[in-house]
Amino acid sequence: MTQHLIKALITALPRFAEEEGDYYPVKRTDLIAALCQKADIAHEVAENTVNLCETLLDTLATLKPDCLLRGEWCFVSFPAQLMALSVLTAMSDPDSRYFEADFWNTHSIGDTKKNSQRDVLAAVENKRHDSHLRKTAAPIRYIYVAWGLIKHDGCILLHQREDTKKRYDSNAGDYSLVGGRVNQKDLQHLTGDIRDKLQALQSANNEQIRPALTETLERELREEAGLEYEQHYYFMPWRTLKPYRQVQGTAPNHALTEYYIDIYVVVLTLEGFCFLQQKIADNEKLVWFSLDEIAQGHTGKEQTQDSKIAFLKALYKDFGDNRARLKHELEILEDSFNAKFSNIKNQDKYRIVLPQDEGQPIRAGAPGKEAPVDLSLLDKPKLLSLLSGLAAHLRGFRFVERHSAVTLHPHGWLEVKDNCELQGELARLAEECKHSEDIVVENQKDRWFRLSISPDCVFFDDAYYSCYFNQMELGSREGKNTHITIIRRKFVTRLGMVDEDTKKVQVSCGLEDRLRTMSENKVDGYSDEAKQTYDLYRKGLHSDCLQMGMRGLLRQDAKAIKTCCEFRID
């Protein structure tokens, strides 16, 4: 019946000439009358048919709007007439299809077909969105999202989305916060069958969905980062974004979509933090973006083909695209893992010095006034060697060889395998240090250990270090500056061998001359020349020594200014 009515309507349509631009309109009332006569139907049925087809052709923008206001149909152009005839003819022909029968099938299809589906939907939905007369096209797809915000050392963790192709423009981006969308399996709290759940999930701003967001976050963090709730982390709400609309979607699911996004701050346990570090190392889809990169939307100073682009447009829009304000809000957030040390004294007023010789005590105190600590490991060389290894890792020294039972983590933490000899030794070391006011070794579940002291307060004995002047530079100095190289030798600890480290530092020729003179002549004392040398050293070289874990090339006490390590000319 419907196809018969549309066939009858086609014969009564107005026409537009293919050449010369001639055309004529037809009154809506005449179309209704023609249908009544040709199809032998009631006036009401004919009127409904004309009204429905008019809505369809007007939506396709094939009819002149001013004529419609006068109650007439008139095509905009000959191509518009062809478009209208194509659609109406297809509707009237039971064998007509715009796509092959299985075109929209999504089961077990390849990327080529997915892309074809997406191209069609993208073209149609973008046209509908862009051509809306009041620029308020209604979405036809609704997505509820839970994102987890994981922050560490001024960076935010992002995860590469499943569909790595750009979604709707060249800057769409592939990386978003860890998390994802609610699906019907997350709606366990909802009563009713699948029909009720899908209707709720595919509706606008439905408050029934909100209780499922935490379930979604837990599932997504497990799937994308391997993190288990409570064991590895817990979370708290941070921000509910304003609804965000965009023509987009993963693979073929492309349409004008409205997103409802809640962001949660993730707080990591020690186990979760260590687990995540290893996960990131093994999974290239997990990437740290600095706060500057979050603000600019991509990695690197300039966007290139190698840049990783952040897919955070909803977040940017929620901040009114004020990227500086977004960066500030992220800056004031605490890190997801609290790396606070137990002993947090100030480097300028306190330091701990680890000996090279196991017969020497550990010393601590104000710079230049360090005294033996209230902990004796003189008869426990393995424990002292362990402590040196923990200190080296805390300072960020590189291990060229490492005990097979140990995994090193940031902030001085190390993880040890169960039931190995080293595990027992570390536990004993932590117990030995339990009552010390200076040396604090944390033990978490006999699995994670660290020396819990501010890293910049931990130093190594002078015997670990030397410095040299380059003979060629000494003989051919042309400018005002030259170089001194500081060396920290390789050393072995119970955790493994710590690599040698060198630091070449530019200094004034005057300072280099003074240091060389002091080292060659063994000039000690408190002369004006020694004082001047010490002042120049403090301004030009001391901070580089501290970065190496060295207390300094020169040291001042109440009686003298002294050289503190081996000086040589190579």
Which range has the worst mean pLDDT, 3-7, 31-35, 179-183, 538-542?
A: 538-542
Tell me how far apart the alpha carbons of residues 570 and 220 are, in angstroms, rounded to a whole number: 58
Contacts of 126 (CB under 8 A, 6+ apart): 168, 247
| Residue 362 sits in the same domain as residue 499 | no
Q: Where are the beta strands (DSSP E) in 38-140?
A: 72-73
Tell me how far apart the alpha carbons of residues 308 and 287 are, in angstroms, rounded to a whole number: 9
- Taking residues 438-447, report their average pLDDT: 94
Give a yes or no: residue 509 inside a domain: yes
Q: How many domains does the chain have?
A: 4
Give a yes or no: residue 118 inside a domain: no
Q: What is the pLDDT of residues 328-338, one digit of tens each?
A: 999 999 999 99
- Taking residues 263-267, report their average pLDDT: 98
Which range has the worst mean pLDDT, 82-91, 264-273, 423-432, 510-519?
A: 510-519
| Residue 269 sits in the same domain as residue 311 | yes
Left, alpha or beta for 386 (phi > 0: left; psi -120 to 50: alpha)? alpha
| Residue 198 sits in the same domain as residue 285 | yes
Give a yes or no: residue 539 inside a domain: yes
What does the pLDDT read at residue 99? Answer: 94
Give a yes or no: residue 105 inside a domain: no
Give a yes or no: residue 355 inside a domain: yes
| Residue 397 sits in the same domain as residue 478 | no
What are the backbone dihedrals phi and psi of residue 444, each rounded to the nearest 5 degrees, phi first? Answer: -110, 105
| Residue 314 sits in the same domain as residue 392 | no
Q: What is the pLDDT of residues 28-84, one digit of tens each?
A: 999 999 999 988 899 999 999 999 999 999 999 999 999 999 999 999 999 999 999
Give a yes or no: residue 7 inside a domain: yes
Instruction: Choose the final residue of a domain: 92, 109, 130.
Output: 92
| Residue 166 sits in the same domain as residue 306 | yes
| Residue 164 sits in the same domain as residue 257 | yes
Instruction: Find the CATH number of the domain harbouring 165.
Output: 3.90.79.10
Sheet of strand 491-493: strand arrangement? 399-402, 496-498, 491-493
Instruction: Choose the final residue of a domain: 425, 440, 458.
Output: 458
Give a yes or no: residue 338 inside a domain: no
| Residue 312 sits in the same domain as residue 370 | no
Domain hosting 195: range is 141-331
Contacts of 321 (CB under 8 A, 6+ apart): none
Rounded to two decimals, what is the model's pTM?
A: 0.84
| Residue 296 sits in the same domain as residue 361 | no
Mean pLDDT of the chain: 90
Give 567's pLDDT tier (boundaries 50, 70, 90).
confident
| Residue 168 sits in the same domain as residue 302 | yes
| Residue 417 sits in the same domain as residue 439 | yes
- Taking residues 374-396, report their average pLDDT: 89
Q: What is the pLDDT of residues 162-205, one digit of tens each?
A: 765 544 455 567 899 999 999 999 998 888 899 999 999 999 99
Instruction: Choose the final residue of a domain: 51, 73, 92.
Output: 92
For residues 350 and 365, the answer to whether their CB atoms sit within 8 Å is yes
Tell me how far apart the alpha carbons of residues 279 and 273 are, in angstroms, rounded to a whole number: 10
Neighbours of 219 (CB within 10 A): 19
| Residue 283 sits in the same domain as residue 204 | yes
- Taking residues 113-140, report their average pLDDT: 93
What does the pLDDT read at residue 520? Answer: 73
Q: Higher model confidence: residue 211 or residue 348?
A: 211
Give a yes or no: residue 547 inside a domain: yes
